[in-house]
Chains A and B, each alone.
Chain A
Amino acid sequence: MNCNYCEWRCDLTKGKGVCGMYELRGGDIVEKHPNKWSRCHGVYIERIPIFHAWPNKRFLQLGCFSCNAACAYCINASIAIGPQEPITFTMTPEEIVDLALKSNYKGIHFGINEVTVNLPSALAVSKAAKKQGLIVGCSTNAFFTQEVAKLFSDIFDFFNISLKSISDEFYKINLGLPSAVPVMRNIKYISSHAHVEITTPVVLHGNESELPQIADLLHSINPEMAWHIFRILPKHLMANDSPPDVEYLSAMVEKVKEKMPYTYFGNFIGSNWVDTICPNCGEIAIERMCDCACGAKFLKNNTLNGNCSNCGNKLPIIDDWGNDLC
């Protein structure tokens, strides 16, 4: 019997599957660790990073462990890859939603590890959260099946999808995944149903030459999409490799910005490329700063309810614009 959550489509009669998180019980595929979470803490949405939705709002970030990929440079290997199983805590969907409401979070974000490997628990939390009016989103490698893409886009309001390359070769060698095709397919599908931002981690002499082609692809899907190019500080199997040179990558970023105006360049301290700039007049619309790896910190919103304060251009940013209390 095959698991149809991700494109590995593991035959669980033959073993534990690539992620090791599901098993067969009474003819059903079930989660081995339902309602178990390794992380449960507040995070500002810019940290995820999501820059074009609910600026400066806090979300309850949940994560479990394991992954269906095995990125050679994984920055979160102790959770995603092991070898130790991290400590987890059991929290029911109701307890989590209660915590989110009590702490006045805007919603819930599934991050830390790949949400597809804890899918039933994540969906249960999401359903309970939506009932209470919370926003729900996830960070994902999007190597899931079309069925799951539909399931996710029906329930999640936002996605940060990691598109690491458009080459199968790169996916095979560096991520242990057989192909980039399902990821690109899912980005196209989900973008027409929910808010999507893309993250492309760049490793030294790895995938930076692909940035123009990735820009072409994203432009064909939505030219106003936020695209986060990450300078990766490699860990795990590539821990001894240097991160890419900032100057070298920033020149490439400036080039792809001609095609994708909302391209950001971060994941390193002090980046000057995480502000949202109005493409019409060049005014800084939202100020942010990079104070550590991953995402950024919100500093100031200069827009008038999402319109450029200088030229009035409508920026592609979702928010309640001050009509809520979060």
Chain B
Amino acid sequence: MLGIIDAGGWQNVVELSSGRQVEAGEKEYSKVRKLLKDFPYPGDGNDNSIEWVTNAAQRIVDFHQPHWMLLSYTQPLYTEIYLPENLTDSQNRQKRILDNILNFSNKNGYEPIIVMTGGYMPLLDEITQPSIKGLLESWIWGASVAGVSGATLEDKDVLMAHPHIAQVIDKNDVIAAHPNLHPHFIEYFPSYIVIAKEGYAFRGINSHEGKTAMADVYSKSLPVYSSLDTPQHTKDIRSIMEKALDKGKKVVLVVIEGYRFGNIPNGFTLCDNVDDWYAYRGMDLYLALHTGKPFYETEFPPVYDRSKPKSSKAKYPMSGFFNDLPEDSIGAKEGIKSGAVSSRSMITHMIANADITLECYSRERSHMGLLAAFKPNKL
């Protein structure tokens, strides 16, 4: 898979599996270069990024006509998490996204399946470092889930007695319940995973940002809209899409990140989103939607023990924890054309494994550029 990186108009073609530059003339991959040039990312906190997703997806439809697409909108998450916003503004943004999707689907003949993640509710309080020997780590914003690494047995009692912690998941129990876990999953699973009560968020020593206005809720069910069959579980979505594609239908999977908890739009129903103790979120949710696999069959633990040395990766150095493209992703299905656009950074091109993916390249809301990942033989 090749990638064209665009940093403020400067473009570089790289082989994504090695991270190294590939010699390519200015005229090569002109459609992809133009896509990057014509769609500069407005920014994580900018609502125009909603249309950025939709309009860039339309461009991909125009030049590639994919049978399957992923559109992922992250503006609600980035905007709401820090700013205590009134419900009307939040609902207006949600409506703006849904209108975008509806128009896009109608215009291009896609069957939409829409999954809303989150949800978010006003933060009641933060859970920082309880009096334990282990280190509480949470890296994401307003997190209802955190890891505790280097913990002792006594720490478990302290964590369980904490008034704002709902659940403590012991690594040993997870290993015992799933004998076939991937070695990487076991290696990087922290001593404990802790889950906050509704309205509380962890902020550990390595949280990158300040206090948030909202807390994410540990959502055991998520609002889903489907113009195809109704999924019972978020993992079912993969097979529903596959069936529709096999019947010659075109499908667009949409992920809207960060809905206001309890604010379920018309036509959406709540869909199960939990296996064992784990409510799918972030990368695991994207993986479950694309592969239909439960979290314990992947290499990736829900929270990473970051005190463990991360082996320097031989492959896909730009692609987070991934060492390979997931060949079982719906985006790589035989006999179809696929495309993806996402304002979520980095993981989309790997998980979607589509013919072409456009994603913004942001870290901690710092916008660094764009990446278009593509398979030259498919375009």
The residues of A with any CB-CB pair to B shorter than 8 Å are 37-42, 44, 56, 58, 75, 78, 84, 86-87, 89, 99, 102-104, 231, 233, 235, 242-243, 245-247, 268-272, 287, 289, 291-293, 297-299
Contact = CB atoms under 8 A, between A and B. Distances in A.
A163 to B, nearest CB: 23
B20 A270 contact: no
Contact of B205 (A84, A89, A102, A293): A89
A289 B317 contact: yes
B177 to A, nearest CB: 27
Contacts of A99: 135, 150, 307
Contact of B317 (A102, A246, A291): A291
B262 to A, nearest CB: 28
Interface stretch (B92-100, B323-331, B366-374): B366-374
A75 to B, nearest CB: 7
Interface of B: 5, 7-10, 12, 14, 18-21, 126, 128-129, 135, 137, 150, 203, 205-207, 209-211, 306-310, 312, 317-318, 361, 363, 366-369, 371
Contacts of A291: 19, 317-318
Contacts of A102: 150
B10 A103 contact: no
B205 A268 contact: no
Contact of A86 (B137, B210, B309, B361): B210
A56 B312 contact: yes
Given A42-B307, A87-B205, A89-B205, 13 more contacts: A40-B135, A40-B206, A41-B137, A44-B312, A84-B211, A87-B203, A103-B309, A233-B366, A269-B7, A287-B20, A289-B14, A293-B368, A299-B18
Contacts of A246: 7-10
A299 B19 contact: yes
Contacts, number: 101
A114 B318 CA distance: 29
Given A289-B19, A293-B366, A84 B210 contact: yes
A42 B310 contact: yes
Nearest to B310: A42
19 contacts: A39-B206, A42-B306, A42-B307, A42-B309, A44-B312, A78-B209, A84-B211, A87-B129, A89-B129, A99-B135, A243-B8, A247-B10, A270-B369, A287-B20, A291-B19, A291-B317, A297-B19, A297-B312, A299-B18
A86 B20 CA distance: 37
Contacts of B317: 289, 291, 297, 299
A87 B307 contact: no
A89 B206 CA distance: 10
Contacts of A247: 10
A89 B137 CA distance: 12
Nearest to A38: B205
Given A247-B10, A289-B317, A298-B312, A87 B207 contact: yes
B363 A292 contact: yes
Nearest to B305: A103
B20 A37 contact: no
Contacts of B135: 40, 89, 99
Contacts of A287: 20
A87 B146 CA distance: 16
A91 to B, nearest CB: 9
B156 to A, nearest CB: 19
B209 A268 contact: no
Nearest to A83: B210
Nearest to B362: A292
A246 B367 CA distance: 15
Contacts of A299: 18-20, 317
Contacts of B318: 269, 289, 291
Contacts of A78: 209-210
Nearest to B128: A87
A41 B207 CA distance: 11
B4 to A, nearest CB: 9
Contacts of B20: 287, 289, 299
